[in-house]
Amino acid sequence: MSKLKVNKKMREALTGYALVLPWVIGFILFMAYPIYYSVFLSFHKVTISAEGIVTEYTKGDNYKYAFLSDPEFVEKLLLFIKSAVGMIPIIIVFSMLVALLINQPIKMKGLFRAIFFLPVVITSGEVVNELFSQGATAIPLVEKYGIIEIIKDNLSPAWSTPIIDLIQQLILILWFSGVQILIFLAGLQKVNKQVYEAASIDGASPWVSFWKVTLPAIKPFIAVNMIYTTVDLFTNSFSDVIELIKANMFNLTTGFGYATALAWIYFGVIFVFLLFILLLFRNNDEVTVRRKRRSA
């Protein structure tokens, strides 16, 4: 009997392995090996000759060059980081706001949801660039009221440039919130209605119950959305840095080796962002747990 059970268990495990095997092979072929090879390349000077790929070990020269000598990379990376730091909170706050609005008892929920999700379906790098260059993505009113001039006058150019960029691309930024709105909506719908009733019986205004009930309840979704937004922002082809990496691939003096080094630095930045988000949200949880323990 017990032998049969083991057999059944083993058969289950084996079937499971068989089903997941395609992914594992794919992972090795299209992820693990490329990752290994790209680490390798990033420490080499790569030239492509008639006989194939020639690599020449250069220690950390590629990385050194990226930070110390490359005229564009550091500048573009910093600019992109700055704009990402600006964009992530805007996207999160905006998508939460829209989700809260749609979650109200209103008619035509489906229509509004569909409108806010539309950009996810139709945006590709080229189309977005086109709309942007034709001025279709700037809110017309913003220019009229001279907001940009005010910012220009009051801030140093190091900060005013990214902020003005943000304003001029506001619609575009909002366009990146489609998925996030849906995630928040799903989160909001999971909040227990009775908690709101209890809060309002205790005399909490909608404003208070937002801060005390809604926000804590959807906190995990904020974390998910921040991670999603970061990955999305950094990997979509709208980033200048990504263009730079591609440009360096086919640049004769720098080549594949240097381009991979840039890609790794870029990945490092993403990783730091994600780590920061995780820390931000884990710390808070620990604080509340500690508080609870103290009061208990």
Contact positions with another protein (CB under 8 A) in 36-55: 37-38, 41, 53
Residue 43 or 221: which CB sits closer to another protein? 221
Residue 136 binding another protein, by CB under 8 A: yes
Residue 26 or 60: which CB sits closer to another protein? 26
Residue 203 binding another protein, by CB under 8 A: no
Residue 28 or 158: which CB sits closer to another protein? 28
Residue 84 binding another protein, by CB under 8 A: no
Distance, CA of 278 to chain centre? 13
Q: How many alpha carbons lie under 13 Å from residue 101 in its C-beta half-sphere?
A: 11
Q: How many residues does the chain have?
A: 296
State how far the Cα of 55 lies from the Cα of 53, in Å rounded to an integer: 6
Q: How far is the CB of 242 from another protein (least distance, A)?
A: 6
Q: Contact at 8 Å (CB) between 190 and 99?
A: no
Residue 76 or 113: which CB sits closer to another protein? 113
Task: Look at residues 236, 242, 245, 35 and name the one whose alpha carbon lies nearest to residue 127.
Answer: 236
Q: Contact at 8 Å (CB) between 225 and 92?
A: yes
Convert residues 54-73 into a mask of x (bound to another protein by CB under 8 A) and - (unbound): --------------------
Query: Which residues, 154 to 193, sit near another protein by CB under 8 A?
Result: 171, 174-175, 179, 182-183, 185-187, 190
Distance of CA 288 to CAs 48, 52, 146, 157, 220, Å?
57, 59, 44, 40, 14
Residue 160 or 240: which CB sits closer to another protein? 240
Question: Which of the ranges 144-152, 159-167, 233-241, 280-288 carries the binding residues for another protein, by CB under 8 A?
Answer: 233-241
